[in-house]
Every structure is written in structure tokens, then in C-alpha cells.
Amino acid sequence: MAEALTLARPYAKAVFELAHAQHNAERWSRLLALLTTLVGNREAKVMLGDPRVPAEVRAEILLDLCAKTGHKPDQQERNFMRLLAENRRLPLLPEIAAEFASLREQAEGLMEVEMRAAVPVDKTEQERIRKALESKFGRQVKLNCVTDKSLIGGAVLRAGDLVIDGSVRDKLSRLTVAMIQ
């Protein structure tokens, strides 16, 4: 995973800079999301992994699928796809899309945070946590709450690479390690 992200980061940065300069980040976001869905398809994975399928054919198949779903790729998007295909980076599209989204959020002063809690969190508490995070990070926070009973109690906040683990499961794990040592 870390290697894939390392390989994907320069592509995401280049596309973001292009999209930002041309004020079409939303279009690129939609395209990258669509491509992520397409390369996640079982048949697409087989095709992308088949060395008998030439790079230009791989790119054209994905571009044709994009057009059939209603997103007609422009010349820059086509060139980007061909570059990824030539460099055997089409399987990295999910990582490129995620990194692009992260760069876009950062540029727009947004931050997406996932909160996994052992029990459902009411709206008042969600709002309190969101405001505390906005104060801490100095950015607008979009809080996505997920219930995860495996945490036993507490919550885990994840914002990009930052993880704040306040779960009972984590505390029990640390206690077990401390007792063993």
C-alpha cells in the first residue's frame, strides 16, 4: 500500500496542479472516481494484469467505458490515461484518486475525517467533535461517522495519515503489551 501511494503521488500532484490551474478540479474528481470504479471491476483487473493486452488498448478500453457512462474524456484526460497505461500505472488509479482528493481538500481548506465509534453518535456530539477538530486543524471538517462494534467502546478518528485512537480495544491492547513486558 505504501509503495502504491508513493508511486501514485506524483501523478496525483501533476493532475491536481493541472486541474487547479484550469479551474476544473471537479471534472477531474469525477473522472478519477469513475476510473477508480472501472478499474475495481473484476474483468478490468484481469485485463489490466494481462501482459498480452497492449498499453494503448488498455487505456482506450477505459476511455471508451468512460464515454459510455457519460463522461467524454477531453484530450488532456486521454493523454493522462495513455501515460498511465504506458507506465503500467493504471492499477494505481484508486490511490491517485485518493491523493488527488486529499490535495483538493487541502487547497480548498477542507478536511474529511472518519469517526468510527462503538455506538452510534448523536448529532449534538458529532457537531461538538466537528467544531473541536476545526479548531485544532484550522480547516473546515466534514465528519463521517461509522458504527464499529468491534471497538468495544470509545472511538477512532482518521484524517488522512493521522489516526487518533481512543477505543477501548486499543487501550486493552496496550495494557496487554505492558503486562507481558
Per-residue pLDDT of 58-109, as tens digits, reads 899 899 989 998 889 999 999 999 999 999 899 899 999 999 998 998 888 8
- DSSP class of residue 120? P
Q: What percent of the chain has pLDDT over 90?
A: 48
Calpha distance 142→133 (Å, rounded):
10
pLDDT at 169: 76
| Cell numbers describing residue 104 | 483538493
Out of 2-16, 38-52, 74-88, 113-127, which region has the weakest mean confidence (pLDDT)? 38-52
The pair phi, psi for residue 93, each rounded to 5°, is -55, -40
Domain ranges of the chain: 2-105, 110-180
| 2-105: CATH number | 1.10.520.20
Is the pLDDT at 3 greater than 80, yes or no? Answer: yes
Per-residue pLDDT of 138-156, as tens digits, reads 889 999 999 998 888 888 9
| Cell numbers describing residue 166 | 481512543
Out of 56-60, 105-109, 129-133, 169-173, which region has the weakest mean confidence (pLDDT)? 169-173
Calpha distance 36→49 (Å, rounded):
15
pLDDT at 25: 92
Instruction: Give 84: exposed, middle or buried? Use CB within 10 Å, 0-12, 13-18, 19+.
Output: buried
| Cell numbers describing residue 97 | 484518486
Q: 165 has which bridge partners?
A: 156
pLDDT at 150: 86
